[in-house]
Amino acid sequence: MDPNTNSNEVAHDFPPFFRVYKDGRVERLLGTETVPPTTDPLTGVQSKDITISPETALSARLFLPNTTTSAVAHKLPLLIYIHGGAFCVESPFSPIYHNYVSSVAAEANVVAVSIHYRRAPEHPLPIAYEDTWAAMQWVAAHSKGDGPEAWLNDHADFERVFLAGDSAGANIAHSMARRAGVDGLLGFKIVGMAIVHPYFGSGEPGKLIEFIFPTMSGPDDPSIYPAPDPKLRSLGCSRVLVIVAEKDELRDRGWNYYESLRKSGWGGVVEFVETQGENHVFHLFNPNCDKALALLKQMASFLNQPALP
C-alpha cells in the first residue's frame, strides 16, 4: 500500500448498510453479529451449519424440528429460506434470522435450509442469485435419499418444497421460482413460495442497487422488477403468498407483483396479506408482538398446504 494513502478514506458510503474505503476494505455497518447453531431449549429445534461449496464458501444453516428420528418417521415439508439485508448485510447466522427460521421450523414442523449466499459489494449481483440456485441444486441432490446431508436424506419430503424470503431474500426467492419454472429443476417439487415485504425496486434504480448490480439492465430488469416480465406466467410453483406491511415503502411494489401474477396467465393461486400499521420486516425485530405471531401462524399454515393438482 502507498504509505501516503489514508486507509480510512471512504470511497463509497451507503448507510446504514456498508462503506467501502479507498484501499478496498469493506465495513459493514449492521448485521454482522452471529450466533452458533444450537438446540432450542423451548422448542427442541436443532440447527447445524454445512458447507455446500468450499470453492465459493457457499454454506447454509439447517434446522430440524423436534421430531422422531426413527426410520419410520414420516417425511416433513422442506423450506428453503433466503435472508434479506439489501443483498449486502445479515446472514443465516445473524440472531434475527437464526431465531426466525428456527421459530418457523417449530411452528410449521418443517425442515429448513437457510442459505448463506455471497453478498455485495465484494460479490456484486447476480452472484447472490447464482449462489442460491447452486444451493437449490445441492438440496435437490438429496431427493433420492443418498445426498451428503443426513437430515435432508432422512426427514425432507422433496414433493413438498417451499421457498421463502424477506426483502432482498424475497426478491431472490422469486428469481429462483422463475428459474425453476423456465429452466426446470430436477429432484424436487416446489409447492409454494412465500415472499415477505419483497424488494422489487422502487421505480427508479437508486445508487445502492446500481453499485451492487452493475450489469442491471435498468429499472425494469426482471431480476429487480418482475411485474412486467413476460415469463412471470412460468413461475415454477402452484401457490404464492405475498405479505406486505402497510407503512413499508416497498408495499406498493408487492401489491403490483400480486396483481401482475394474478393476471399473467399463471395457473396457480396467489394470496395477498397486508399487516396494518407496521413497517418493513417488523416481525424480525419484534417477533413476540401479536402481529408478528399472527404472521408466523400464517406462514406455518401456508407451509403445510399441499400442491395444487
What is the b/e burial string over 12-31, where b = at least 16 CB atoms within 10 angstroms of the residue's CB?
A: eebeebbbbbeeeeeebeeb
- To the query of whether residue 174 is one of the catalytic residues in this protein, the response is no
Instruction: Retrieve residue 204's grid coordinates.
Output: 427508479
Q: Look at the chain and count its residues.
A: 309
- Burial bucket for residue 217 (CB in 10 Å: 0-12, 13-18, 19+): exposed
φ, ψ of residue 94 in degrees (nearest 5): -65, 145
Q: Of the listed 102, 167, 238, 260, which one is catalytic?
A: 167
Phi/psi-derived region of residue 62, left when phi > 0, alpha when psi is between -120 and 50, beta in every other case: beta
Q: Reading across the β-sheet that carries 156-166, which strands appear in turn?
A: 46-53, 58-64, 111-116, 76-82, 156-166, 190-196, 239-245, 269-275
Cross-strand partners of 114: 61, 81
Residue 144 to residues 42, 69, 137, 183, Cα–Cα distance (Å) = 33, 18, 13, 21
CB atoms within 10 A of CB 63: 27
- To the query of whether residue 98 is one of the catalytic residues in this protein, the response is no
Q: Of the listed 116, 123, 280, 283, which one is catalytic?
A: 280
- To the query of whether residue 167 is one of the catalytic residues in this protein, the response is yes
Report, as residue numbers or ranges, the catalytic residues. 167, 248, 280
